[in-house]
Amino acid sequence: MIWEKLIQCKDNIVNILNQHCEEYHEPGMERFNNSKYGWTNRTWKNNSLRRAHVEVVDARESKKLWIIHVCMFPVLNNSGPIYGFDIVSGQNKVTGAFHDISSLKRKGHPLTQWFINNTKSYKPNKERE
């Protein structure tokens, strides 16, 4: 099943964040953690990232749906872009995948240019409005 692969991917991301960052409790985040509804939010930081956020909605039993949202914000003196992705998955296939590097006014950063160069020819099979 695709869910097992996605959960393994999430675990790998969490392991990488645990190796390179410090997990911290973000005030107010507890209202977005609800085990009854399978909603989990975790945050990390280090010298390069002011916030790394992993959110999972595990509604496999109730709605046959699993969602992950990952977003990383550089520290303010780091010219790197904000990075994020989301995956929405039913039991048998991914129904939504979104990937974003938000350069804001940081177009000269190498990561922003790499993303532009490597995605300019990509055309999704089915575009969303």
The 3-class secondary structure across 52-77, one letter per residue, is EEEEEEEEHHHHCEEEEEEEEEECCC
pLDDT at 16: 98
Q: Is the pTM of this model over 0.85?
A: no
For residues 95 and 68, what is the distance between their CA atoms, to the nearest angstrom?
Answer: 12
- Consecutive H or E run containing 3: helix 2-20
CA–CA–CA angle 19, 26, 100 (5° rounding):
65
User: What digits encode the pLDDT tens for the residues 42-82?
Assistant: 999 999 999 999 999 999 999 999 999 999 999 988 878 88
In this structure, which long-range contacts are made by residues 105-110, counting pairs with CB atoms below 8 Å and at least 24 apart in sequence?
Answer: 106/79, 106/80, 106/81, 108/79, 109/79, 109/80, 109/81
User: What digits encode the pLDDT tens for the residues 90-100?
Assistant: 999 999 999 88
Cβ-Cβ contacts under 8 Å for 6 (sequence gap 6 or more): 66, 68, 87, 89
Here the tokens at position 126 are 């089915």
Instruction: Assign residue 124 a region (left: φ > 0; alpha: ψ between -120 and 50; beta: otherwise).
Output: beta
